[in-house]
Amino acid sequence: MSISPTKYNRSKQLRTPLDDRSLKLRRTIVHMLETNGRGHLGSAFSLVEILRVLYDDILIYDPETPNWKGRDRFILSKGQGCLALYAILAEKGFFPESELWICGKSEGILGGHPEIHIPGVEASTGSLGHGLSIGIGFALNARHTKSKSRSFVVIGDGESNEGSIWEAALCAGKHKLSNLTVIIDYNQQQSYSYTNEVQELEPYLQKWESFGFSAIEIDGHNVSDIRNTLATLPLSENKPSAVICHTIKGKGIDFVEQNLEWHHKTRVTETEIEALMGQLGGK
């Protein structure tokens, strides 16, 4: 049953505790930020629980054969959150962990947005609004070839300002792509302001339903809620699924949470790194 947006209690995301695994992944992200000297920390931290559940429990893939035809396809359309994706891909063995520590360097393979040459990355993203259309292409191809492969696309709420998102949603609804799941990182902030000030999205759940999706809202930092929801996909037969994950931008660090100055941080200082690691239980 869908939860009404007007009744959804976002304040509980501020109280959702982070377990050891979530803290460890965040420490890895901070180390990458330290190496690179810049990055979208807030966007990455709001994604950690979503990505960890996908790669731990939901997606079918083979890191030793990244292009295996039977794999599920995952696209991080909001490519600025890539530090979280890189941490997960390295952990799962798509590329050596050593690549994380040269993130953003010319000798490495990892840059400020995902690119197709990186093992495990299905599409170059960061030019916002494109990932969902690519995911639909994967889903249509799977249907045509009678493959059991599924498509998962994570988009941002700020990214939802792009008209191409809704053109793609119309297409997915028309074709009743039950092998497609859109996961929205709904942290209610974008680069320079709150989403309701830039472009109001509510009633957000009903918008997705009106485009032919089966939609639900969940706590995007509650691992059990995410796992239980994604394990039941598709949410309805003959419909694409939309999972609206209520998240906190910068989740886990009190001076980063909902702080727009940390949307994209440059010239991160040693003092800032120490403060970040201190709150994450590391050095």
Tell me what percent of the residues of the chain surpass a pLDDT of 70: 95
Q: How far is 167 from 208, CA to CA, in rounded Å?
A: 12
pLDDT, residue 10, reads: 66
Counts of helices then strands in the chain (DSSP H, E): 10, 7
Mean pLDDT of 233-250: 96
pLDDT, residue 42, reads: 92
Identify whether 189 is part of a domain.
Answer: yes
What pLDDT, in 10s, does the model give residues 10-33?
A: 666 657 899 999 999 999 999 999
What pLDDT, in 10s, does the model give residues 30-49?
A: 999 998 888 889 999 999 99
Q: How far is 215 from 205, CA to CA, in rounded Å?
A: 6
pLDDT, residue 12, reads: 67
Identify whether 197 is part of a domain.
Answer: yes
Identify whether 200 is part of a domain.
Answer: yes
pLDDT, residue 139, reads: 98
Please choose, from the candidates 76, 84, 79, 69, the residue with its C-alpha nearest in 3D space to the C-alpha of residue 31.
Answer: 84
Identify whether 5 is part of a domain.
Answer: no
pLDDT, residue 80, reads: 93
Q: What is the CATH number of the domain that holds 123?
A: 3.40.50.970
Identify whether 1 is part of a domain.
Answer: no
Whether the ω angle into residue 5 lies within 30 degrees of 0, i.e. cis, is no
Identify whether 4 is part of a domain.
Answer: no
Is the pLDDT reported for residue 112 higher than 70?
yes
The three-class DSSP label of residue 58 is helix
Identify whether 3 is part of a domain.
Answer: no
Largest CA distance in the chain: 54
Identify whether 6 is part of a domain.
Answer: no
What pLDDT, in 10s, does the model give residues 76-92?
A: 999 999 999 999 999 99
- Identify the domain containing residue 247 by its residue range: 11-279
In the chain, the number of structural domains is: 1
